[in-house]
Amino acid sequence: MQALWQSNAPQREEILSAHVRWLFERAERPQGYWGRSYLSNGRIKDPVFQLDQQCYPLLELVDLVEQTGETALAARYAPVVAEVLAAIERRRAPGAPFVATDETPADDPMPLPYHFSSLVLLWYTFSRLAGLAQQFPLPSPPLWWEDLASAIRDTFTTEWRGQTLFAYAADAVGRVHIYHDANDFPTLLAPVWGFCSPNDPVWQATMAFAFSPANEGFADGPFGGLGSRHTPGAWPLGDAQELLLARLMGDAGRIRRVLARVQATAFADGGLPEARDPATGQPTSRHWFAWPNAALLFALTLNLT
């Protein structure tokens, strides 16, 4: 949304407002929360609870209200925000500021109930909502959100093969799972959002692991890169992550290498697939997939100053 807003594209406010209307007025929420996927008419296709899918619509509304300053817009959707917050609250762990998710952002079963990148996203969403609720008629997030960042660090910081990094998932009683996925943008964005510093050695070790063959989600090869268990291969979505990481680290050579890989993968119209063969660079899944193109635009245009 931020990339579209910054583009000064004609009718940008109309486009963004229409999408928010679809999310808050048309998309079905039979149990109070947004489902994993929908038909274009708003009928819910997959009603599973994914924590990240509750955060992105709230952030989109927050962005739109901040950009337009429309009090009426905030008041109009405040009841929906309250319903979603209540649905999130119902899934909170007893005595802890964690919310379990039924699936990963890749639509796969969770190895353990609590997902690092989704909880970082929840913390960021609640921090944005808390700030806006002081100026506009929107519900405030639950008070436990203020303890969320420290609880995430305490629970997910772990030792693995001689390194200290953030685990992919945890059960909050000692077990952790080590992995990183092309869908896990919030982990990458943690320093941009203020969860940690870009100089944080734990975050840096996590990112180094993510883009290495030690990560099950990484596909090695001449056209390799970060992918996902969900669909084998290197993902252009992972390239978008690596591009943004290179920008954060000020690594101009890495930026050039990633862009060359993306250019070799793209079709004549600029479209990108879900996955490619890491050995040949040939698309292997969903040849025209909107998500990596949107992520690439975000990675190229995000203001890091």
Per-residue pLDDT of the chain (305 residues; tens, 9 = 90+): 666 666 677 787 888 999 999 999 999 999 999 999 999 999 999 999 999 999 999 999 999 999 999 999 999 999 999 999 999 999 999 889 999 999 999 999 999 999 999 999 999 999 999 999 999 999 999 999 999 999 999 999 999 999 999 999 999 999 999 999 999 999 999 999 999 999 999 999 999 999 999 999 999 999 999 999 999 999 999 999 999 999 999 999 999 999 999 999 999 999 999 999 999 999 999 888 889 999 999 999 998 87
**Packing angle, helices 116-133 and 148-156, rounded to 10:** 170
Q: What is the three-class DSSP state of 78?
A: helix
Question: Could you give the C-alpha distances from 224 to 214, 232, 261, 290, in angstroms and in order?
Answer: 13, 11, 9, 20
Q: What is the three-class DSSP state of 272?
A: coil
Residues 6 or more apart from 148 whose CB is under 8 A from it? 97, 98, 119, 122, 123, 126
Question: Could you give the C-alpha distances from 168 to 132, 207, 301, in angstroms and in order?
Answer: 30, 12, 27
Residues 6 or more apart from 222 whose CB is under 8 A from it? 278, 279, 281
Which one-letter amino acid corresponds to residue 229? R
Instruction: Count the neighbouring beta carbons within 10 Å of the beta carbon of residue 72.
Output: 11
